[in-house]
Chain A
Amino acid sequence: MKRRSFLRSEAGHGLLMLSPTALYATIVMAAPLVAVFVFSFMTPGYLKVVWTFTLNNYAKVFSSPIYTALLGRSLLTSGVVTAVTVLTAFPIAYFISFYVSPARKSLWLFLITIPFWTSYLIRVFLWKVILGYNGVINSAFLGLGIIHEPMTFLLYNMNSVVITLAHSYAPFAILPIFVALEKIDRSLLEAGQDLGESRFMTFIRVTLPLAMSGVVASVLIVFIPTAGDYVTPTLVGGANGQMIANVIQLQYFKLGDYPMGSAVSITAMAVVTAVALIFVFLNRRFLRGPK
């Protein structure tokens, strides 16, 4: 009797509706994560896992300079990517929200999604064409006589990784900021000026704090996936642009060392999570919504 009434209650209905999704998420996301987590404490054996518990993998991760260096570079790269992406996304979001007429906003948002119409892989590849030794930029500058030999700092280093990733993630950064800006009551900006502040100071004191919830969301949406990006550094990173995901791939598929690859993965996840949490904590005052 009691059981039946629970299933008929609102909470019961909610759980019933949620359960297929929850089940799916458990199978495809949580289960592999748990597997990786367990693997990371096991002993390596070529192309297989030896089921003896060990902390050696983690000891290696933290003692060997290659992992810490790559992890550091990953964080630095995705940090720079995040900064570049969010700083360029903000003016775009601001323009669409404040200067595009309401009737045209949907069109603009639609235009912003156009890069997604081609595969991620192809977009990365096209950057290679643009930035390469005989690429679009170098050919153009050579042809114009601005430079006399091709620039080599464009491709196969951190610059190219940053440019490519910043371009790929721009829409993800624009949308949350746009939404936050859209929610700002325009009379607040007039009030700011009415109370004696210039447009710029009104932006600093009113618009920016109110847009911060969107900025924080953008930062997380860009930072977390780019820290673990694999395709971009592989294609345009060169030797100096390699990131942590490349070494994970190496451990798993080239060296067949599953436990070591898992330990690096778990460490990278933990570090990225920690950085994200610290960032959210530092910005917590912007994230309190109206009750």
Chain B
Amino acid sequence: MTSSPAPAARLARPLIELREVEKYYGDYYALRKITTDIREGEFFSLLGPSGCGKTTLLRCIAGFEEISGGHLSIDGKDMEDVPANKRPTNMVFQSYAIFPHLTVEENVGFGLRRDPSSKEDKARRVAEALEMVGLKGFGKRAAHALSGGQRQRVALARALILKPRVLLLDEPLSALDKKMREQMQSELRKLQRQVGITFILVTHDQEEALIMSDRIAVMFEGEIAQLDSPERLYRRPISRKVAEFIGIMNFLPARVLSTGPQIALDVAGLGQIAIDAEQCPGTPRTGDASVGFRPETMTVLYEGDPEPSRGKVAQGTVEEVVYFGDMSYYEVRLEGVEKPVQISMRNVVGRPVLLRGSRTRIAWEAGALVLFCEPKA
């Protein structure tokens, strides 16, 4: 699996090394032999549905859960027998875990008790941390009088003031409303670049993971299904399951005729085509398979539109139209395919939304297709 690291992670060495890390509760495996590296300075996300083990993995890194097997090291140091309070990690909890009996200032300065610096120095650092998260002047407020967004900022300041090697974020944005969440996503991203600390984010929101991360580990049932950059994860998902979890993917039944540097396929609704071997992230095999494509990679053509210069054209019928303002979502039944596919189009002035039942041509490119050769479940 190759990936294109983001600039921040380019010269990176592994900061966290996970070697066959396991966690089980009785018969139940929460984590199954996870082996991966998390690099210095990257924004790393653990993405998956609830119960996939992503939070367990985060808590193992933080030291709140003991691993049942394997090795976990941070900064070259094995973390076995190192309790949570001695690890170079700090956490932003899902509930934020702001101490209700303390003021904002006391919360942010909580971890500085054993710091040898002077009282004035500590007060200055608390003020700086508050300013960094946009809470200048909030120091004297009671913690319980804060809004959800403000609590989150306090939690961030409280963790970052200790300059951890790794900041762990456990679904930090799930309790915020949509607008606040979007704002915090970009703020967190900026903050991470600014402080240069490795962030590990746990989320079940694929959009959030795509927006924020350098790399994403998609987890299912205690295993990492795919670890890649957001772009590769979106364009070249390794399995149908990953493809379905990240955004929308249409699937067409297909038959693989031959493999090699070029793979020959017979795809329902699209006909006989050839694709690059690179377009099959798994192992190509001849026989029954499926081909996936993202809704925005196909274009609904209007009557009188010229044939596209690149790519090919398929025939179909518009079954359903959903108008979204800037976008329209079409459900189109391709000729010879039972299940309609979803195609999204940017709305343009002068091109009215097509009506239901319209016969239409669909422009598509072989390069946008992904081949899944996994056996049918």
Contacts and interface: CB of A to CB of B under 8 A. Distances in A.
A209 B101 contact: yes
Contact of A188 (B83, B99, B162): B99
Nearest to B144: A290
Contacts of A210: 100-101
A149 interface: no
A193 B85 contact: yes
B56 to A, nearest CB: 14
Given A197-B113, A290-B100, A190 B144 contact: no
Chain B interface bracket (under 10, 10 to 19, 20 to 34, 35 or more): 20 to 34
A195 B83 contact: no
B140 interface: no
B93 interface: yes
Contact of B95 (A185, A205, A291): A185
Contacts of B91: 190-191, 194
Interface in A133-187: 185, 187
B322 interface: no
Contacts of B64: 190, 193-194
Contacts of B62: 194
B137 interface: no
Contacts of B99: 188, 191, 206
B186 to A, nearest CB: 26
B175 to A, nearest CB: 13
Main secondary structure of the interface of A (DSSP, over half): helix
B111 A196 contact: yes
A208 to B, nearest CB: 10
A198 interface: yes
Nearest to B85: A193
B90 A195 contact: yes
Q: What's the interface size class on A, roughly?
A: 20 to 34
Task: Find the residue from A191, A192, A291 having the highest chain B CB count within 10 A.
Answer: A191
Nearest to B86: A196
Contacts of B90: 194-195
A210 B101 CA distance: 7
B158 A195 contact: yes
A196 B97 contact: no
A252 interface: no
Nearest to A191: B97
A190 B93 contact: yes
Contacts of A188: 97, 99-100
A191 B111 CA distance: 10
A286 interface: yes
Question: Residue among B63, B89, B99, B114 with the most chain A CB within 10 A?
Answer: B99
B145 interface: yes
Contacts of B110: 192, 195, 205
Nearest to A286: B101
Most chain A Cβ neighbours within 10 Å, of B63, B89, B90, B100: B100
Contacts of B159: 194-195
B84 interface: yes
Contacts of A206: 99
Interface in A275-291: 286, 290-291
B118 to A, nearest CB: 18
Residue of A193, A197, A206, A286 with most chain B CB atoms under a 10 A cut-off: A193
B327 to A, nearest CB: 39
Given A185-B95, A187-B95, A290-B144, A193 B100 contact: no
A187 B84 contact: no
B145 A291 contact: yes
A209 B159 CA distance: 21
Interface in B72-105: 83-86, 89-91, 93-95, 97, 99-101
Given A286-B101, A291-B144, A193 B83 contact: yes
A197 B95 contact: no
A209 B99 CA distance: 10
A149 B91 CA distance: 62
A205 B101 CA distance: 10
Nearest to A212: B101
Interface in B124-167: 144-145, 158-159, 162
A101 to B, nearest CB: 14
The interface centre, meaning the residue of B93, B94, B101, B162 with most chain A CB atoms within 10 A of its CB, is: B101
A253 B110 CA distance: 60
Contacts of A190: 64, 84, 91, 93, 97
Nearest to A201: B113
Counting chain B CB atoms within 10 Å of each CB, the highest count among A194, A201, A286 belongs to A194
> 6 nearest interchain CB pairs?
A195-B111, A191-B97, A290-B144, A187-B97, A193-B84, A193-B85
Given A193-B63, A198-B85, 11 more contacts: A187-B97, A188-B97, A190-B91, A193-B85, A194-B62, A194-B64, A194-B159, A196-B111, A196-B114, A201-B113, A290-B144
7 contacts: A188-B97, A190-B93, A192-B110, A193-B64, A194-B89, A198-B85, A291-B145
